[in-house]
């Protein structure tokens, strides 16, 4: 990986560029990457910037050390709460909740791949499920243990799981608070592939670069249509498709794709 220096505003989130791929690494390995207020702010800022940056075509999200993300940092949260309600709000709601990472992830047009290393619990599970593609190491786990802590999936898990695995399976997983291993996640369709832990980042980067080689405007429009289609009728989707196709047909990338096909070579897309 060729890293470019990127300012994140906190050491708790690492950002590295590898060509058109932005790799974001949750970086509190001593706490299994438990989410803190500064990490939330940095992650939102990086995702928003990536979605606007034409130099980024794919985002890859992972965790440092032996876990992806153990959820919200309950120790920090308890400390903030002990300082009173105002202190708790400052620590955990430093921005409009509409700009929190789960909301930003959901509305992103750039593809996001999760390299799922170790456990993704609570908030970490929601972050993983909000990614478009999940590649899991053999030691990966998804842990929807919120009901065992007296809370509910606070960041979209209760919206996502029924859509990913169906109502019955989602009910079983969430109500029982069961921990799912990598192979069970694969069987349920919660991850796209399971690979040896040592091959996880290599595989995730291969997928990311493969996506990044495609026409970025077309990839982003495809993702946007998929997202809108979750809430639309088929007829409405067809109407929206016509709206998005016109500018794509007029793009330089479309012309390059046709030329490359006729010349029997790989296309070189510029994103315009």
Mean pLDDT, rounded, of the chain:
86
Residue 6, in any domain of the structure: no
Residue 219's CB: how many other CB atoms inside 10 A? 20
Please identify, among 188, 212, 236, the residue that sits at the C-terminal boundary of a domain.
212
What pLDDT sits at residue 92? 47
Residue 270, in any domain of the structure: no
What percent of the chain is modeled with pLDDT above 70?
A: 87
What pLDDT sits at residue 7? 42
Residues 109 and 216: their CA atoms lie apart, in Å, by 10
Q: Is residue 236 located within the same domain as residue 167?
A: no
Please identify, among 171, 193, 212, the residue that sits at the C-terminal boundary of a domain.
212
Average pLDDT score over residue span 227-235: 86
Q: Is residue 203 located within the same domain as residue 222?
A: no
What pLDDT sits at residue 243? 82
């Amino acid at each position: 990986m060729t890293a470019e220096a990127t300012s994140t505003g906190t050491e708790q989130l690492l950002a590295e560029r590898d060509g058109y791929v932005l790799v974001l690494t949750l970086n509190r390995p001593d706490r299994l990457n438990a989410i803190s207020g500064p990490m939330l702010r940095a992650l939102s800022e990086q995702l928003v910037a990536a979605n606007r940056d034409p130099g980024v075509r794919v985002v890859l999200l992972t965790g440092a050390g032996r876990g992806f993300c153990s959820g919200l940092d309950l120790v920090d949260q308890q400390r903030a709460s002990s300082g009173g309600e105002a202190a708790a709000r400052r620590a955990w709601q430093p921005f409009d909740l509409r700009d929190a990472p789960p909301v930003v992830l959901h509305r992103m047009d750039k593809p996001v791949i999760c390299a799922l290393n170790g456990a993704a619990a609570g908030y970490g599970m929601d972050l993983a499920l909000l990614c478009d593609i999940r590649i899991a190491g053999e030691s990966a786990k998804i842990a929807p243990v919120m009901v065992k802590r007296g809370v509910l999936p606070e960041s979209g898990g209760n919206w996502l799981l029924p859509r990913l695995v169906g109502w019955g399976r989602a009910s079983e997983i969430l109500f029982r608070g069961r921990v799912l291993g990598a192979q069970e996640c694969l069987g349920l369709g919660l991850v796209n592939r399971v690979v040896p832990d040592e091959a996880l980042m290599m595989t995730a980067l291969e997928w990311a670069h493969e996506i990044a080689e495609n026409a970025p405007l077309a990839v982003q429009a495809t993702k946007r249509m998929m997202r809108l289609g979750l809430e639309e009728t088929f007829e409405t989707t067809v109407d929206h498709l016509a709206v998005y196709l016109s500018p794509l047909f007029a793009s330089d990338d479309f012309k390059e794709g046709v030329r490359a096909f006729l010349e029997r070579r790989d296309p070189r897309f510029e994103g315009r």
